[in-house]
Structure 1
């Protein structure tokens, strides 16, 4: 503990001194390039990690007779009713018309990555009718991803039976 005499001496010595402000950081162009490359690598790796969850061989127990729907275990079943009614407006729309299965898988991985990064809760995925290949495959891929809470065929205002609403965990 400082004695009063030492404390008074210190106060006299620092009286009138202006504090330094260190608010400028020098970053070289090499450091900027490296950080941008690191960000791009990280985003590519995260996208690849999302693709890891999509197996074409996995066959979940989905009812393909009526409206497509899925609810993760231990979630409130009322969420499906809310999705069916359109209570969750989509934050993002993804249109997969005319894409191949591989292109659709990449776009779906990108959608999930963006939703996680931007903390978006609901998305609408337009599969269209066509040959029903994507309409059947998209739910099979989605139920494999751990961030997907629920999915349901979209109500009319969000695309009807040609679209799927998906809720993501945050």
Structure 2
């Protein structure tokens, strides 16, 4: 029995802990919900979109890649977009949005382009069920700030995206 108690004592000394280990995990910082004024400003921005898109309006597009040039603009804009000569500064990804949400976000994108003096943006509608892919061009045609759009070149999303040229504050001042 004495041998067992000696062995137990040796074991206790061998595994003796000098310092207790404390949990080293850090509690994650919980994001605070947006305050009421922030939520109201966001809602006002979305509601203040300058154009209400009609889901019933149907523009006529030629066969092939989706393309459009506004009346009075240079017809070569579509070719320039197709060739990737315009690089988008803003990109809107509509994946996972409902039709109503996508319409609001598209309006906000165009308004942001105008305010920030961005002439080219990209709208990624994706493939999915094809609802947004079919609807987005019809919405874009309705917006007075849209100069042209074309199915994006492969490096900017291919047939799952559109490159859009938007009128900007500086382009309007040059026209005057």
In the superposition, the TM-score normalised over structure 1's length comes to 0.71
Number of the residue aligned with 2:126:
128
Aligned equivalents of 2:106, 2:76: Cα separation in 1: 25
Q: Secondary structure at the match of 2:86?
A: coil
Residue pair 2:51, 2:143 contacting (<8 A) in 1 also: no
Q: Report matched runs for 1:9-158 at 5 Å.
A: 40=41, 44=44, 47-52=47-52, 54-63=53-62, 65-158=63-156
How far, CA to CA, are the matches of 2:123 and 2:103 in structure 1? 12
Query: Quick one: distance in 1 between partners of 2:67 and 2:93?
Result: 19
1:31-73 C-alpha deviation (Å, 9 max, x unpaired) = xxxxx99xx49x9368534242x1111111123x421000001
SS of match in other structure, 1:55:
coil
In the aligned structure 1, how far is the partner of 2:57 from the partner of 2:69? Answer: 17
Q: Is the 8 A contact 2:46 2:105 kept in 1?
A: no
Q: Greater CA radius of gyration, 1 or 2?
A: 2
| Number of equivalent positions | 130
Cα separation, 2, equivalents of 1:142 and 1:96 = 14
1:121, distance to aligned residue in structure 2 (A)? 0.3
Structure 1 unaligned spans of 5+: 1-35
Q: Which runs of 4+ in 1 moved over 6 A?
A: none
CA RMSD, Structure 1 to Structure 2 (Å):
2.0
Which residue is equivalent to 1:162?
Answer: 160
Distance of 2:145 and 2:161 partners within structure 1: 19
SS in 1 for 2:142: coil
Deviation of 1:75 after TM superposition, in Å, equals 1.2
